[in-house]
Amino acid sequence: MIIQKLYDEVRLKGNVCVGLDTALEYLPESFHSRYEGTEEKLFRFNRRIIDATCDVSACYKLQIAYYEAYGLEGLRAYSRTLKYLKEKSLLSIADVKRGDISKTAEMYAKAHFDGDFEADFITLNPYMGFESMDPYLPYVKNGEKGIFVLLRTSNPGAKDIEYLESNGKKIYYHVGDHLADLGNHMLSSCGYSNVCAVVGGTHTDEATEIRERYPNMFFLIPGYGAQGATGSDVRLYLSRGNGGVVNSSRGILTAYRKVENGEYDFDALARKAVIDMREDIGYGKEL
Amino acid sequence: MIIQKLYDEVRLKGNVCVGLDTALEYLPESFHSRYEGTEEKLFRFNRRIIDATCDVSACYKLQIAYYEAYGLEGLRAYSRTLKYLKEKSLLSIADVKRGDISKTAEMYAKAHFDGDFEADFITLNPYMGFESMDPYLPYVKNGEKGIFVLLRTSNPGAKDIEYLESNGKKIYYHVGDHLADLGNHMLSSCGYSNVCAVVGGTHTDEATEIRERYPNMFFLIPGYGAQGATGSDVRLYLSRGNGGVVNSSRGILTAYRKVENGEYDFDALARKAVIDMREDIGYGKEL
C-alpha cells in the first residue's frame, strides 16, 4: 500500500511535505544566469531542493498550476521532477485538484497515475459528487496509488460552500463521511488507507473534531507558515503523530531570502527551514 | 467582450459546441496508419473536424483530460489545436475545471489565458469558494476572456453536493447567485456577460427555473445525445434562443461509426452530425 510507504517516511523523517510550487521569481538571481530556459531552470532548482531535503522530509507536493503557467516547457520540468523523485524512491503528491466524471475522470487517472506525469498521490475536487472519485479507485484499491480529496480548506472563501450546513451537517462532513466509508474497507497495517483528505491547518477549533471523526484518515495539511498555521495548530490534526503531512512551499523554497547573501546556499537554507519546521511540528516528541 | 463574439457566432451558426474530447480510440483506422505519433494523430484529426464543422458550429470545447492522458505529446496536440482555432478566428473553451485560490489560481489563469494553452474561455470548479474566481476576473473584466463556472451538472453524483440544500437554497443556487452578482455588472450589449455557467442538460424540471433565475447568464450545456438530453430538453435553457451553447463530443467525433465504410468520410459525417444536432435544438426556428 502506498499509504504505508508514506506513513513509514513520516515516522523516519518527520511530517514535512515540501511544496515544489516553483515560480521563476522564487529562483535565486544566480540561477537565472547559470541555466538557460524555463524547463532547465525549474528542474535544476527542484533537483537541488530535493537533494538537500530528502532525508528530512516525508514527501514532495508539486502544484501543477505553477508548471502549467509556463506552458509546455513548464510541464516538461514538471515531468522531469516527478521522474527524478521516482528515481530516488521519494514520494510525490501531484496537487492537481481535478474533479470530473466518467470517461473524463478516467483520462485524468491515466494522466496522473501513469506516463509522463505519473505521481504516487493526486489531489481531487469533490464538487461533482462522489462518482467523480470512482475512476481513480482501481489504482487506489490495488495499493499502488493514493488520493487526497479536498475536504475542508481554510481559505476565507471556504465558507461559501464547504462550511455550509445541509441535512444537519457541514458540506465537508458529507465529503469526509463518504471518504471514510471508502477508506475504512481498505486499511493498511499502519491504520490508514490510500483514501486521504486535504484539511487546511489554520482553523484549530474544528481540528480535534475532524481528527476524532476520522481516526483512520491520513491528512494533507496546507496552510503552515505563510498562511498562518503554527506547529501547535497543525499538531491537532496529527493523531498518533503520524496521521498526516504538513505542506510548506514558499517558506522553504525562498528561505534563502531571509539571509544576507543567502542565495548561494539556497538549498542548505531550504534544508534548515525543513528541519526547523519539523521541530516546530513536534518531530521526535510524543504527540 | 468575448461573450459578444460567442453570441454572434451562435446567431450565425447555431448553438452547437463541438467537443474535441479526442481519444486515440475514436480515430478511424485509416488515421492510425497514415500518421505517426500521438501528437500528430490527435492534431490532424482535430484539424479535419474543425475544418469540416467551422461554418456550422459556434465554438469548440477541448476537454484537457484527454490530452493530459497522453502526457507531453497529448499536450502538444492540445496546444496546436488551440492555436489552429485562433488562426481561424474560431472560439475555444478549455474544459479544465480548475479550482484553486490566490497565487495558484493566478498561475492557472496565466496558464489557460496566455501562452501555449491560451483559450478564449475556461471552465472552473467553485468548491473552494468564490474567491477562487477572483484571479480570473482581471481577464474577464477587460473583456478578452470568459469563464464558465460549474453550476449544476446532471450526473447522478450531483446529488451528493450540488443539489444539497443549505440556508433555504440548493448549493448550485449559492454558486449561481454569486455568478449573477458578478456578471450583471458587466453585461455586453447582447445581454450576457463573460461570467457564464455550466448547466447540465438532462434535467428538464429545473431548466425553466434556472433560466428564469438567471436571464443574463450564458450557459454551456453538456449532456446532449450520449448522456440523454434531447433537443427539446436543452432548448429550455436557451432563453431568446441564444443564451447558451450545447456541447456534444463523441456523437460528432465518431459519427462515422454509424455508417458502413464511414471512416473515410469521418469529417463529412461529423459535419452532418453537427447540422442534425443544431436542427434538433431548433436552429432557424423561433424558440
Query: What does the pLDDT look like over B167-218, one tens digit per residue?
Result: 999 999 999 999 999 999 999 999 999 999 999 988 777 888 999 999 999 9
Q: In a 3-state reduction of DSSP, which class is residue A93? A: strand
Query: 3-state SS of chain A: helix, strand, coil percent to 5?
Result: 50, 15, 30
Q: Which of A5-19, A106-120, B122-136, B212-226 has the lowest mean pLDDT?
A: B212-226
Average pLDDT over residues B15-32: 96
User: A108 at the B interface (CB within 8 A)?
Assistant: yes
Name the nearest CA neighbour of A151 among A183, A187, A104: A183
Give A125's contacts (C-beta < 8 A, 6+ positions apart). Answer: A97, A98, A99, A132, A149, A150, B97, B99, B125, B127, B128
For the entire predicted model, the pTM comes to 0.97
% of chain A with per-residue pLDDT over 90: 89
Reported as a single tens digit per residue, the pLDDT across B225-254 is: 877 889 988 998 997 778 999 999 999 999
Residues of A in contact with B178 (CB under 8 A): 160
Tell me if residue B224 falls in helix, strand or coil: strand
Question: Which of A56, A50, A61, A12 has its CA nearest to residue A220?
Answer: A61
Residue of B78, B81, B128 for testing the chain A interface, max A β-carbons within 10 Å:
B128
Distance from CA of A267 to the nearest CA of B (A): 23
Q: How far is CA A47 from the centre of its chain?
A: 18
B108·A65 Cβ contact <8 A = yes
Q: Is A97 a catalytic residue?
A: yes
A174 touches chain B (CB under 8 A): yes
pLDDT at A285: 75
- What tens digit of pLDDT does each residue of A26-83 get? 999 998 999 999 999 999 999 999 999 999 999 999 999 999 999 999 999 999 999 9
Q: Tell me what pLDDT residue B287 has.
A: 53
C-alpha to C-alpha distance for B285 and A248, rounded to whole angstroms = 57
> Is the CB of B161 less than 8 angstroms away from the CB of A178?
no
Chain A residues closer than 8 Å to B157 by CB: 101, 128-132
More confident residue, B30 or B48: B48
Which of helix, strand or coil describes residue A62? Answer: strand
Query: Are the Cβ atoms of A65 and B98 closer than 8 angstroms?
Result: yes
DSSP label of B195: E
Residues of A in contact with B127 (CB under 8 A): 99, 125-127, 150, 161-162
What grid cell was written down for A242? 503520524
User: Are the beta carbons of B98 and B125 closer than 8 angstroms?
Assistant: yes
* Residues of B annotated catalytic, as ranges: 97
User: At B29, is the secondary structure helix, strand, or coil?
Assistant: helix
What does DSSP say about strands A59-63 and B16-19: parallel, antiparallel, or unpaired? unpaired
What ipTM, to 2 d.p.? Answer: 0.97
Identify the band that residue A220 occupies on the pLDDT scale cut at 50, 70 and 90.
very high
Q: Under 8 Å CB-to-CB from B142, ≥6 apart: which residues? A: none
- Check whether A119 has a pLDDT greater than 90: yes
Torsion region of B92: left, alpha or beta (phi above 0 gives left; psi -120 to 50 gives alpha): beta
